Structure 1
Amino acid sequence: MKQRIMQQAQQEIFRSGFRFTIADIARQCGVSTKTIYEWYSSKEELIHDMVQQAIDEIKKREQAIIHDQTLNTMDKLRALLVLLPQDFQFFDIKRLFELQRYYPEVWKYLNSFMEEQWDGVKQIVAVAQAEGLLGTFNEELFIQLYIGGLNRLMEQASVNQVGLTLGEALDEMVDIMINGIRLR
C-alpha cells in the first residue's frame, strides 16, 4: 500500500506539481484519507519518503555504473553526471523549484545529498585523468558549476517555460561541461 501511495503521489506531481492533496491521493488509490494517514502523518512526510526512495535508487545505480565493465571511463562519467531516478527522466524541471519553495525541509535534505554525493564522480574523474582522458582541473569548482547550473535552470523554469525535462536539461548541461562549445 505504501508503494502504491507513493506511485500515485508521483503521478500527481508529474500531472500538476505539488498542489495535490492527501484526498487526491486517497481518491486515486480508492481508499479513505484515513488509510493514507495510517502510512504517512503528513503530505511532507510522503514527499520526503519519495525523495529518500529516489536517493536510494541513485546510490544503487551509481554503483552499478561505476562497476559496469561495458562502459568506458568517459561514458561512466557522463552517466554519473546525468544520473536521475528512473521515474524522474521526464520530470519537468520546474518541479524542483516547487519542491524548494513549498517544502524547504525536504529540499534541504535533497540539496544536501546533491552537494555531498560526489565520491563516485571524483573516483571516475581520477581514473579518466590517469588514462589521459581529462586534464587537471578544480573538481570543487566543477561541482559548484554543476550545482549552480542546475539551480539556475530551476529558477528560470519557475518563471519561464524552459521547455526541458530534467533529463534533457542535465544532458545538455553535462555535454557543455564535458565537451565544451568549441568545434574540434
Structure 2
Amino acid sequence: MDNNVYFKILKCFGAKGTRFTTEDLARELGTSKRTVYAYFSSKDEMIEKTIDFVFTEITQSDTDILEDAELSVQEKIRLYFQNIPDAYSIGTIIRHMDDLQRYYPRLYGKVNHHLDTIWDGVIELVQEGMNHQELRKVDTVILKLMLNETLRKLLDYEYIANHPVSFESGIKAMSDIVLYGLMKEGFL
C-alpha cells in the first residue's frame, strides 16, 4: 500500500482525532469511500495500520543502526540518539490518546506498548557498553524511565506550547545530556 495513504490518515486523525470519517479520508485521497474500503475493512483497521506504519518506520531505522556490525557500541548509541523520529506522526497519535483510550482501548494499549519499548534497543546497547567497560555503570531502569518520560513530555502539545523547546531541540538536548553523561573520556 502507498505510504501516502497513511500520511493522509494521519492528517485526518490530526484534524479530528478518532472522529474523522471514511468520507473525510476519501476526500483527502481524492477517491471514493468504496475505494477506501477496498484497502481497509473498518476505521479501527485504518487507525491500527497507521499506528503500525508510524512505529515500524522508527523501529526499522533503529534496527538498521543496531545491526550494523561495523559500528562500535558508542557509535551505535550516538546514531540511535541522532535518529530522531518524525514528531508530527507520533505527536498526532499522542495528541489524541484520550480518544483512543475512550473509543479504541486496544489501540491505546498498542501505542503505549510502542512508546514503552521504543528505547529498548538503546538500553541493550548501554548494557553491552557497561559489560565491556566502555560506559560508566548506570541504572538502566532509571535511564529508560528518563528517556520514556522525556519523549512523552516532548510529544505533549500543551507542554511544547508552554515551553521554549521544540520536539527536535528537546530530543537533541536529551541526547546530549545522556551521551556526555555516559561516555567515558577518550570515547568522545
Please name the residue that 1:125 is paired with: 126
Look up the match of 1:77: 77
Q: Distance in 1 between matches of 2:73 and 2:108?
A: 31
In 2, Cα distance between equivalents of 1:147 and 1:3: 27
Give the gaps of 5 or more residues in structure 1.
none
Aligned equivalent of 1:97, options 94, 99, 107 = 94
The residue number in structure 2 matching 1:63 is: 63
> What SS is found at the alignment partner of 1:125?
helix
The corresponding residue for 2:45 is: 45
> Hey, which bits of structure 1, 4+ residues long, moved more than 6 A?
none
Structure 2 unaligned residues grouped into runs of 5+ = none
**How high is the sequence identity, in percent, across the aligned residues?**
22
Is this contact kept in 1: 2:54–2:89, CA < 8 A?
no
- Give runs of aligned pairs for residues 105-116 of structure 1, distance below 5 A: 105=105, 106-116=107-117
In the alignment, the residues of structure 2 paired with residue 175 and residue 159 of structure 1 have an alpha-carbon distance, to the nearest angstrom, of 21
CA gap of 1:97–1:63, structure 2 versus 1, over 3 A, is closer
Question: What is the number of residues matched between the two proteins?
Answer: 176
Q: 1:57 to 1:23 in 2, by over 3 A?
A: same
**Change in CA separation of 1:83 and 1:70 when aligned onto 2, cut-off 3 Å:** same
Aligned-residue CA RMSD in angstroms? 3.2
The residue matched to 1:91 in structure 2 has which SS?
Answer: helix
CA shift digits 1:86-127 (9 cap, x unpaired) = xx2x52775343231221232321211232355422331133
- In 2, the alpha carbon distance for the partners of 1:130 and 1:91 equals 36
Provide the C-alpha distance between the structure 1 equivalents of 2:95 and 2:110, rounded to a whole number of angstroms.
15
The answer to whether the 8 A contact 2:54-2:90 is kept is: no
In structure 2, what is the Cα distance between the partners aligned to 1:55 and 1:108?
Answer: 14
CA distance in 2, matches of 1:133, 1:149: 25
Change (3 A) 1:137 1:175: same
The answer (yes or no) to whether the contact 1:94–1:158 under 8 Å persists in 2 is no
* TM-score, normalised via structure 2 length: 0.72
